[in-house]
Amino acid sequence: MAESKKMLRVEISRFDPDRDEVPKTQEYEIPVQDDWKVLDAINYIKDEVDPSISHRWSCRMAVCGSCGMMLNGEPKLTCKTPLSDYDETIKIEPLANFPIVRDLVVDMDGFMDKFRKVKPWIVRAKARAEDMEDLNEKGTFSQSPDQLATFKQFSMCINCLLCYAACPVIANEPEFIGPAAIALGHRYNLDSRDEGQAERNSIFRGEGTVFSCSFANECSEVCPKNVDPAAAVNQAKLAAVVDWAKGLVLPREGA
């Protein structure tokens, strides 16, 4: 199908904890098609050359968040990144700042714990049955397009972890809760249906959260979904301080 097959050198980082002390690099020389993404090259190698490579992927349409890797040192979604961005050589490594499980697969346990810590769900003050009076006759909360717009951007995160791989704070302080988790907590804080700001703000005032951020902005630069987690972190900092300064816990205006 392809008209002209170009050759590309692909260097892939390999690591099997049962055999290797440290990751090593393996090189493959493969024919590539001009409309391929980087993921297509990895899959070609796995199918046709070396089936022992391990990597995660599923949707191949930049929405499931599985396929983040370091490409020539930069965190990228491999299913979104055109192979034509790379001349002659590409080096593929697992995401930085995470423990490596195998080859291109990283350990996500730490992230999943951080993710849950920010209470990423709608918190309501009242138990459900009494809450019903706040719902309209269709059983939904009323929310204007403007109210939706305040948090929509921060709800677009696909949990791809690229921002963690880029974050200089995580590199030094692995406990830092990180950009995506903060953006998610902040997303719920901004949601007109939510009443959990006080709880989350007190989480955000704790160790290793918003105040650990050094304003590097790398997270927003690498984010493939324009979530702008750096903006979320900044807004969350301010909200946490204001909330604390008020010295009392008020439901957000208009809630």
Partner 1 sequence: MVQVSRHDIVIVGGGGAGLRAAIAAAEANPDLSIALVSKVYPMRSHTVSAEGGAAAIARDDDNEELHGFDTVKGSDFLGDQDVIEYFVENAPRELALLENWGCPWSRNEDGSVSTRAFGGMSTKRTWYATDKVGFHMLHALFQHSLRFDNIVRYDEFFVTKLLVEDGRCQGVAALEIRTGEFHAILGRSVILATGGAGKIFPFTTNGTIKTGDGMALAYQAGVALKDMEFVQYHPTGLPGTGILITEAARGEGGYLRNNKDERFLVDYDYGVGDKAELGPRDMVSRAIIQEFEAGRGFEGRYGKYCVVDLRHLGEKHIDAKLPFVRELAKIYIGVDPVHEYIPIRPVVHYMMGGVDTDINAATELPGLFAAGEVACASLNGANRLGSNSLTECLVFGAVAGRNAIEFAQGAGEGNSSALVSQAEEEAARVEALRGNGRGNEKIAGLRHEMNSTMEAGCGVYRMQESMQIAATETRSIRKRAADLHLKDSSRVFNTEIVSALELQNMVELAEVLAVSAAHRKESRGAHTCRDYPTRDDQSFLYHTLAHRTDDGPRLGRKEVKLGHWEPQERKY
Interaction site with ligand FES (CB under 6 A):
57-60, 62-67, 77, 79
Q: How far is the CB of 3 from ligand FES (least distance, A)?
A: 26
**In the structure encoding, which two tokens stand for residue 161, read together?**
């972890």
Q: What share of the chain is helix, strand, coil (3-state, %, to 5)?
A: 40, 15, 45
Element (H, E) at 101: strand 100-102
Considering beta carbons, is residue 28 or 151 the nearer one to ligand SF4?
151
Q: How far is the CB of 103 from ligand FES (least distance, A)?
A: 16
Parallel/antiparallel/unpaired status of strands 89-93 and 6-14: parallel
Considering beta carbons, is residue 140 or 253 the nearer one to partner 1?
140
48 binds, among ligand SF4, partner 1, ligand FES, none (CB under 5 to 8 A by kind): partner 1
239 binds, among ligand FES, partner 1, ligand SF4, none (CB under 5 to 8 A by kind): none
What is the residue-wise DSSP string for 146-190? HHHHHHHGGG------HHHHH-HHHHH-TT---HHHHHHHHHHHH
Q: How far is the CB of 61 from ligand FES (least distance, A)?
A: 7
Parallel/antiparallel/unpaired status of strands 105-106 and 100-102: antiparallel
| Span between the terminal Cα atoms of the chain, in Å | 58
Considering beta carbons, is residue 83 or 183 the nearer one to ligand SF4?
183
Considering beta carbons, is residue 167 or 180 the nearer one to partner 1?
180
Considering beta carbons, is residue 122 or 250 the nearer one to partner 1?
122
Q: How far is the CB of 155 from ligand SF4 (least distance, A)?
A: 10
180 binds, among ligand SF4, ligand FES, partner 1, none (CB under 5 to 8 A by kind): ligand SF4
Q: HSE of 40 in the Cβ direction (CA atoms, 13 Å)? A: 14
Query: 86-108 burial, b for 16+ CB within 10 Å, e for fewer?
Result: beeebbbbbbbbbebbbbbbbeb
**Selection from 197, 198, 199, 177 nearest residue 189 by Cα:** 197
Q: How far is the CB of 93 from ligand FES (least distance, A)?
A: 16
Residues that bind ligand SF4 (CB under 6 A): 157-163, 179-180, 183, 222-223, 225, 227, 229
